[in-house]
Copies of this chain bind each other. A is one copy, B any other.
Amino acid sequence: MSALPFSKLSAPLNALIAAIGLMAVAALTIPDMAGRTRLTLEVLLAGIWVVYCLQLIETLITQRTRGVRDRMPAIAVDVLAVLVPLAAFLLDGTRDQSLYCAIWLLKPLRDSTFFRLMGRVLTNEARNLIGVTSVFGIVLFGAALAAYIIERDVQPDKFGSIPQAMWWAVVTLSTTGYGDVTPQSFIGRVLAGLIMMCGIGIFALWAGILATGFYEEVRRQDFVRTWQLVAAVPLFQRLGSAALVEIVRALRPRVVPAGTVICRKGETGDRMFFIVEGRVSVATPNPVELGSGSFFGEMALITGEPRSATVSAVTEVSLLSLYSVDFQMLSKSSPEIADIIRKTALERRGAPPKA
Protein backbone atom coordinates (compact mmCIF):
# COMPACT_ATOMS: atom_id res chain seq x y z
CA MET A 1 0.00 0.00 0.00
CA SER A 2 2.79 2.39 0.93
CA ALA A 3 4.41 1.87 -2.47
CA LEU A 4 1.29 2.96 -4.33
CA PRO A 5 -0.11 5.97 -2.52
CA PHE A 6 -2.01 7.42 -5.46
CA SER A 7 -5.47 6.20 -4.73
CA LYS A 8 -5.07 7.55 -1.22
CA LEU A 9 -4.52 11.08 -2.47
CA SER A 10 -6.83 13.13 -0.34
CA ALA A 11 -9.83 14.69 -2.06
CA PRO A 12 -8.43 18.26 -2.00
CA LEU A 13 -5.12 17.13 -3.55
CA ASN A 14 -7.00 15.19 -6.20
CA ALA A 15 -9.10 18.25 -6.97
CA LEU A 16 -5.95 20.37 -7.19
CA ILE A 17 -4.30 18.00 -9.68
CA ALA A 18 -7.45 17.97 -11.81
CA ALA A 19 -7.65 21.78 -11.65
CA ILE A 20 -4.01 22.12 -12.80
CA GLY A 21 -4.63 19.69 -15.63
CA LEU A 22 -7.74 21.55 -16.75
CA MET A 23 -5.93 24.89 -16.64
CA ALA A 24 -3.23 23.42 -18.85
CA VAL A 25 -5.95 22.18 -21.23
CA ALA A 26 -7.43 25.68 -21.28
CA ALA A 27 -4.03 27.34 -21.82
CA LEU A 28 -3.20 25.02 -24.71
CA THR A 29 -6.14 26.40 -26.70
CA ILE A 30 -4.61 29.88 -26.81
CA PRO A 31 -3.66 30.25 -30.49
CA ASP A 32 -0.42 32.23 -30.56
CA MET A 33 1.64 30.45 -27.94
CA ALA A 34 5.38 29.87 -28.00
CA GLY A 35 6.26 26.28 -28.94
CA ARG A 36 8.22 25.98 -25.73
CA THR A 37 5.34 26.88 -23.41
CA ARG A 38 3.16 24.51 -25.40
CA LEU A 39 5.64 21.69 -24.88
CA THR A 40 5.85 22.36 -21.14
CA LEU A 41 2.08 22.22 -20.81
CA GLU A 42 1.88 19.01 -22.82
CA VAL A 43 4.51 17.41 -20.62
CA LEU A 44 2.47 18.52 -17.61
CA LEU A 45 -0.62 16.83 -19.04
CA ALA A 46 1.40 13.68 -19.72
CA GLY A 47 2.64 13.73 -16.13
CA ILE A 48 -0.87 13.99 -14.74
CA TRP A 49 -1.93 11.20 -17.07
CA VAL A 50 0.81 8.96 -15.61
CA VAL A 51 -0.34 9.79 -12.07
CA TYR A 52 -3.88 8.86 -13.08
CA CYS A 53 -2.63 5.59 -14.60
CA LEU A 54 -0.98 4.65 -11.32
CA GLN A 55 -4.06 5.71 -9.41
CA LEU A 56 -6.21 3.50 -11.65
CA ILE A 57 -3.90 0.50 -11.18
CA GLU A 58 -3.95 0.90 -7.43
CA THR A 59 -7.70 1.42 -7.35
CA LEU A 60 -8.16 -1.82 -9.27
CA ILE A 61 -5.81 -3.73 -6.93
CA THR A 62 -7.31 -2.44 -3.68
CA GLN A 63 -10.86 -2.79 -4.94
CA ARG A 64 -10.49 -6.47 -5.62
CA THR A 65 -10.82 -7.13 -1.93
CA ARG A 66 -13.92 -5.00 -1.53
CA GLY A 67 -17.26 -5.31 -3.28
CA VAL A 68 -16.78 -3.83 -6.72
CA ARG A 69 -20.29 -2.53 -7.00
CA ASP A 70 -20.04 0.09 -4.29
CA ARG A 71 -16.99 1.69 -5.89
CA MET A 72 -18.20 1.26 -9.47
CA PRO A 73 -18.51 4.98 -10.22
CA ALA A 74 -15.02 5.69 -8.85
CA ILE A 75 -13.52 2.96 -11.02
CA ALA A 76 -15.44 4.18 -14.08
CA VAL A 77 -14.12 7.72 -13.56
CA ASP A 78 -10.57 6.42 -13.13
CA VAL A 79 -10.77 4.28 -16.26
CA LEU A 80 -12.20 7.12 -18.37
CA ALA A 81 -9.56 9.55 -17.08
CA VAL A 82 -6.88 7.24 -18.47
CA LEU A 83 -8.50 5.87 -21.61
CA VAL A 84 -10.08 8.97 -23.15
CA PRO A 85 -6.81 10.96 -23.40
CA LEU A 86 -5.01 7.82 -24.60
CA ALA A 87 -7.56 7.23 -27.35
CA ALA A 88 -7.38 10.90 -28.34
CA PHE A 89 -3.59 10.67 -28.58
CA LEU A 90 -3.71 7.56 -30.74
CA LEU A 91 -6.62 8.44 -33.00
CA ASP A 92 -6.85 12.22 -33.27
CA GLY A 93 -3.87 13.82 -34.97
CA THR A 94 -5.07 17.43 -34.68
CA ARG A 95 -4.22 20.02 -32.08
CA ASP A 96 -7.51 19.24 -30.36
CA GLN A 97 -5.88 16.18 -28.77
CA SER A 98 -5.41 17.88 -25.42
CA LEU A 99 -9.08 18.87 -25.26
CA TYR A 100 -9.96 15.29 -24.46
CA CYS A 101 -8.22 15.67 -21.11
CA ALA A 102 -11.30 17.71 -20.16
CA ILE A 103 -12.67 14.33 -19.10
CA TRP A 104 -10.71 15.00 -15.89
CA LEU A 105 -13.54 17.35 -15.01
CA LEU A 106 -15.14 14.15 -13.68
CA LYS A 107 -12.31 13.44 -11.23
CA PRO A 108 -13.64 15.62 -8.37
CA LEU A 109 -16.96 13.76 -8.61
CA ARG A 110 -15.06 10.61 -7.67
CA ASP A 111 -14.46 11.37 -3.99
CA SER A 112 -16.89 14.12 -3.20
CA THR A 113 -19.69 13.44 -0.75
CA PHE A 114 -21.22 16.73 -1.83
CA PHE A 115 -22.09 15.46 -5.29
CA ARG A 116 -23.77 12.45 -3.83
CA LEU A 117 -25.75 14.81 -1.61
CA MET A 118 -26.67 16.92 -4.65
CA GLY A 119 -27.74 13.82 -6.52
CA ARG A 120 -30.07 12.83 -3.70
CA VAL A 121 -31.60 16.29 -3.49
CA LEU A 122 -32.23 16.33 -7.25
CA THR A 123 -33.81 12.86 -7.05
CA ASN A 124 -36.04 13.76 -4.11
CA GLU A 125 -37.23 16.99 -5.66
CA ALA A 126 -37.33 15.72 -9.26
CA ARG A 127 -41.10 16.00 -9.52
CA ASN A 128 -41.18 19.64 -8.43
CA LEU A 129 -38.09 20.61 -10.42
CA ILE A 130 -39.61 19.12 -13.58
CA GLY A 131 -42.80 21.02 -12.82
CA VAL A 132 -41.04 24.37 -12.50
CA THR A 133 -38.91 23.63 -15.56
CA SER A 134 -42.03 22.97 -17.60
CA VAL A 135 -43.53 26.25 -16.36
CA PHE A 136 -40.29 27.82 -17.56
CA GLY A 137 -40.72 26.14 -20.94
CA ILE A 138 -44.34 27.21 -21.33
CA VAL A 139 -43.61 30.83 -20.40
CA LEU A 140 -40.59 30.76 -22.71
CA PHE A 141 -42.60 29.57 -25.70
CA GLY A 142 -45.46 31.94 -24.94
CA ALA A 143 -43.05 34.87 -24.64
CA ALA A 144 -41.30 33.99 -27.89
CA LEU A 145 -44.63 33.64 -29.71
CA ALA A 146 -45.91 36.98 -28.41
CA ALA A 147 -42.64 38.76 -29.17
CA TYR A 148 -42.61 37.27 -32.68
CA ILE A 149 -46.11 38.54 -33.38
CA ILE A 150 -45.44 41.97 -31.90
CA GLU A 151 -41.95 42.67 -33.25
CA ARG A 152 -41.68 40.72 -36.52
CA ASP A 153 -42.57 43.72 -38.65
CA VAL A 154 -40.47 46.18 -36.63
CA GLN A 155 -37.26 44.14 -36.50
CA PRO A 156 -37.59 41.32 -39.04
CA ASP A 157 -33.88 40.50 -38.70
CA LYS A 158 -34.11 39.85 -34.95
CA PHE A 159 -37.66 38.64 -34.41
CA GLY A 160 -38.20 37.13 -37.85
CA SER A 161 -39.12 33.67 -36.56
CA ILE A 162 -40.12 32.02 -33.27
CA PRO A 163 -36.70 30.36 -32.80
CA GLN A 164 -35.07 33.79 -33.15
CA ALA A 165 -37.56 35.34 -30.75
CA MET A 166 -36.84 32.49 -28.34
CA TRP A 167 -33.24 33.60 -28.01
CA TRP A 168 -34.47 36.99 -26.83
CA ALA A 169 -37.03 35.31 -24.56
CA VAL A 170 -34.52 33.07 -22.75
CA VAL A 171 -32.05 35.94 -22.31
CA THR A 172 -34.85 38.05 -20.80
CA LEU A 173 -36.60 35.37 -18.74
CA SER A 174 -33.33 34.48 -16.99
CA THR A 175 -32.73 38.24 -16.43
CA THR A 176 -29.37 37.83 -18.16
CA GLY A 177 -30.10 40.65 -20.60
CA TYR A 178 -27.26 40.62 -23.14
CA GLY A 179 -28.87 43.54 -24.91
CA ASP A 180 -28.09 42.26 -28.41
CA VAL A 181 -31.83 41.96 -29.05
CA THR A 182 -34.35 44.29 -27.40
CA PRO A 183 -37.96 45.02 -28.26
CA GLN A 184 -38.55 48.42 -29.87
CA SER A 185 -42.32 48.78 -29.83
CA PHE A 186 -44.22 49.95 -26.77
CA ILE A 187 -46.23 46.71 -26.47
CA GLY A 188 -43.05 44.71 -26.89
CA ARG A 189 -41.48 46.53 -23.97
CA VAL A 190 -44.49 46.00 -21.72
CA LEU A 191 -44.27 42.30 -22.65
CA ALA A 192 -40.55 42.34 -21.77
CA GLY A 193 -41.32 43.83 -18.35
CA LEU A 194 -43.88 41.11 -17.63
CA ILE A 195 -41.47 38.39 -18.74
CA MET A 196 -38.75 39.73 -16.44
CA MET A 197 -41.20 39.55 -13.53
CA CYS A 198 -42.17 35.99 -14.50
CA GLY A 199 -38.50 35.13 -14.71
CA ILE A 200 -37.92 36.36 -11.17
CA GLY A 201 -40.90 34.34 -9.95
CA ILE A 202 -39.73 31.13 -11.63
CA PHE A 203 -36.24 31.67 -10.32
CA ALA A 204 -37.70 32.16 -6.85
CA LEU A 205 -39.58 28.84 -6.99
CA TRP A 206 -36.46 27.05 -8.15
CA ALA A 207 -34.51 28.59 -5.32
CA GLY A 208 -37.15 27.66 -2.79
CA ILE A 209 -37.38 24.03 -3.92
CA LEU A 210 -33.62 23.51 -4.07
CA ALA A 211 -32.96 25.31 -0.79
CA THR A 212 -35.64 23.38 1.09
CA GLY A 213 -34.68 20.03 -0.41
CA PHE A 214 -31.02 20.66 0.27
CA TYR A 215 -31.63 21.66 3.84
CA GLU A 216 -33.71 18.56 4.61
CA GLU A 217 -31.15 16.22 3.07
CA VAL A 218 -28.29 17.84 5.01
CA ARG A 219 -30.25 17.60 8.25
CA ARG A 220 -30.86 13.88 7.64
CA GLN A 221 -27.24 13.16 6.78
CA ASP A 222 -25.97 15.10 9.78
CA PHE A 223 -28.24 13.08 12.01
CA VAL A 224 -26.90 9.78 10.70
CA ARG A 225 -23.29 10.90 10.99
CA THR A 226 -23.68 12.24 14.53
CA TRP A 227 -25.64 9.16 15.54
CA GLN A 228 -22.65 6.99 14.74
CA LEU A 229 -20.32 9.22 16.72
CA VAL A 230 -22.61 9.42 19.74
CA ALA A 231 -22.55 5.63 19.97
CA ALA A 232 -18.81 5.90 20.77
CA VAL A 233 -19.35 8.10 23.88
CA PRO A 234 -20.08 5.89 26.94
CA LEU A 235 -21.88 8.69 28.78
CA PHE A 236 -24.63 8.67 26.17
CA GLN A 237 -25.06 4.91 26.17
CA ARG A 238 -27.07 5.02 29.38
CA LEU A 239 -29.75 7.08 27.66
CA GLY A 240 -33.01 5.70 26.31
CA SER A 241 -33.63 6.02 22.61
CA ALA A 242 -35.93 9.01 23.13
CA ALA A 243 -33.27 11.05 24.92
CA LEU A 244 -30.70 9.83 22.39
CA VAL A 245 -32.62 11.38 19.52
CA GLU A 246 -32.66 14.66 21.43
CA ILE A 247 -28.93 14.69 22.07
CA VAL A 248 -28.05 13.62 18.56
CA ARG A 249 -29.98 16.63 17.30
CA ALA A 250 -28.16 18.91 19.72
CA LEU A 251 -24.56 17.80 19.15
CA ARG A 252 -22.39 19.09 16.30
CA PRO A 253 -19.50 16.94 15.04
CA ARG A 254 -16.11 18.45 14.25
CA VAL A 255 -12.64 17.07 13.53
CA VAL A 256 -9.55 19.08 14.52
CA PRO A 257 -5.95 18.22 13.55
CA ALA A 258 -3.28 17.54 16.21
CA GLY A 259 -1.97 20.70 17.83
CA THR A 260 -5.10 22.81 17.44
CA VAL A 261 -6.10 24.94 20.43
CA ILE A 262 -9.70 23.92 21.09
CA CYS A 263 -10.44 26.49 23.80
CA ARG A 264 -8.29 29.11 25.36
CA LYS A 265 -8.02 30.20 28.99
CA GLY A 266 -9.92 33.41 29.66
CA GLU A 267 -12.22 33.24 26.65
CA THR A 268 -15.93 33.24 27.28
CA GLY A 269 -17.21 29.82 26.37
CA ASP A 270 -20.54 29.09 24.72
CA ARG A 271 -20.16 25.32 24.27
CA MET A 272 -18.71 22.17 25.83
CA PHE A 273 -16.98 19.27 24.07
CA PHE A 274 -17.18 15.46 24.08
CA ILE A 275 -14.20 13.50 22.75
CA VAL A 276 -15.20 10.76 20.32
CA GLU A 277 -11.69 9.74 19.40
CA GLY A 278 -8.20 11.10 20.08
CA ARG A 279 -6.61 12.83 23.06
CA VAL A 280 -6.51 16.42 24.29
CA SER A 281 -4.21 18.10 26.78
CA VAL A 282 -5.55 20.48 29.45
CA ALA A 283 -2.90 23.12 30.29
CA THR A 284 -3.43 23.29 34.08
CA PRO A 285 -0.44 23.71 36.47
CA ASN A 286 0.04 19.94 36.30
CA PRO A 287 -1.29 19.21 32.80
CA VAL A 288 -3.89 16.50 32.35
CA GLU A 289 -4.67 14.44 29.25
CA LEU A 290 -8.24 13.43 28.42
CA GLY A 291 -9.04 10.59 26.02
CA SER A 292 -11.97 9.15 24.09
CA GLY A 293 -15.28 9.35 25.95
CA SER A 294 -14.28 12.28 28.18
CA PHE A 295 -15.77 15.72 28.05
CA PHE A 296 -14.46 19.17 28.92
CA GLY A 297 -15.45 22.83 28.81
CA GLU A 298 -18.61 22.16 30.85
CA MET A 299 -17.77 24.79 33.51
CA ALA A 300 -18.33 27.65 31.12
CA LEU A 301 -21.86 26.38 30.42
CA ILE A 302 -22.83 25.92 34.05
CA THR A 303 -21.27 28.94 35.73
CA GLY A 304 -20.90 31.32 32.81
CA GLU A 305 -17.28 31.99 33.89
CA PRO A 306 -14.52 32.29 31.29
CA ARG A 307 -12.55 29.17 30.38
CA SER A 308 -10.27 28.18 33.27
CA ALA A 309 -7.62 26.46 31.13
CA THR A 310 -6.41 26.14 27.57
CA VAL A 311 -7.17 22.80 25.92
CA SER A 312 -5.34 21.62 22.82
CA ALA A 313 -5.46 18.51 20.68
CA VAL A 314 -2.60 16.01 21.20
CA THR A 315 -3.67 13.79 18.32
CA GLU A 316 -6.24 14.35 15.60
CA VAL A 317 -9.41 14.65 17.65
CA SER A 318 -12.99 13.91 16.67
CA LEU A 319 -15.22 16.08 18.85
CA LEU A 320 -18.90 16.62 19.46
CA SER A 321 -19.71 20.11 20.66
CA LEU A 322 -22.79 21.09 22.62
CA TYR A 323 -23.85 24.73 22.57
CA SER A 324 -25.11 26.52 25.65
CA VAL A 325 -28.62 26.82 24.18
CA ASP A 326 -28.78 23.11 23.46
CA PHE A 327 -27.40 22.24 26.90
CA GLN A 328 -30.33 24.08 28.45
CA MET A 329 -32.76 22.21 26.26
CA LEU A 330 -31.04 18.94 27.11
CA SER A 331 -31.37 19.73 30.82
CA LYS A 332 -35.06 19.94 30.25
CA SER A 333 -35.59 16.73 28.31
CA SER A 334 -32.98 14.45 29.89
CA PRO A 335 -32.18 15.78 33.36
CA GLU A 336 -30.14 12.68 34.18
CA ILE A 337 -27.41 13.48 31.67
CA ALA A 338 -27.28 17.14 32.67
CA ASP A 339 -26.87 16.00 36.27
CA ILE A 340 -23.89 13.83 35.42
CA ILE A 341 -22.27 16.76 33.64
CA ARG A 342 -22.97 19.07 36.57
CA LYS A 343 -21.57 16.61 39.12
CA THR A 344 -18.40 16.13 37.13
CA ALA A 345 -18.03 19.88 36.94
CA LEU A 346 -18.28 20.17 40.73
CA GLU A 347 -15.75 17.40 41.27
CA ARG A 348 -13.34 19.01 38.85
CA ARG A 349 -13.68 22.30 40.69
CA GLY A 350 -12.36 20.64 43.80
CA ALA A 351 -9.75 18.75 41.79
CA PRO A 352 -7.23 20.52 39.49
CA PRO A 353 -9.41 22.84 37.40
CA LYS A 354 -10.23 22.07 33.77
CA ALA A 355 -11.33 24.35 30.94
Contacts and interface: CB of A to CB of B under 8 A. Distances in A.
Interface of A: 15, 19, 22, 25-27, 29-31, 67, 69-70, 99, 102, 105, 108, 112, 114-115, 117-118, 127-128, 130-138, 141-142, 144-145, 148-149, 160-163, 166-167, 170-172, 174-180, 182, 186, 189, 192-193, 196-197, 199-201, 203-212, 214-215, 218, 220, 223-224, 227, 241-242, 244-245, 248, 264, 266-267, 270, 323-325, 328-329, 331-332
Nearest to A124: B252
6 contacts: A26-B141, A31-B160, A171-B177, A201-B206, A205-B214, A241-B328
Given A29-B148, A99-B149, A211-B212, A70 B245 contact: no
B171 A245 contact: no
A149 B127 CA distance: 33
A192 B170 CA distance: 9
Contacts of A161: 26, 29-31
Q: Which of A133, A160, A176, A178 has the most CB of B within 10 A?
A: A176
A216 to B, nearest CB: 10
Contacts of A218: 128
B114 A324 contact: no
A233 to B, nearest CB: 16
Given A162-B29, A210-B208, A220 B325 contact: yes
Given A99-B149, A210-B208, A224-B270, A163 B131 contact: no
A170 B148 contact: no
A204 B348 CA distance: 46
- Taken together, the copies of this chain in the complex come to 4
* Secondary structure dominating the interface of A: helix
Contacts of A207: 200, 203-204, 207-208, 211
Contacts of A105: 138, 141-142
A211 B134 CA distance: 17
Contact of A215 (B115, B163, B193, B208): B208
Contacts of A137: 19
Given A131-B114, A266-B69, A267-B70, A204 B193 contact: no
B141 A127 contact: no
B178 A175 contact: no
A166 B149 CA distance: 23
A116 to B, nearest CB: 10
A127 B142 contact: no
Contacts of A133: 197
Contacts of A171: 177, 192, 196
Contact of A199 (B145, B174, B186, B328): B174
Q: Which of A128, A177, A218, A224 has the most CB of B within 10 A?
A: A177
Nearest to A325: B223
CB-based closest 5 A-B pairs = A208-B211, A114-B131, A204-B207, A176-B177, A242-B332
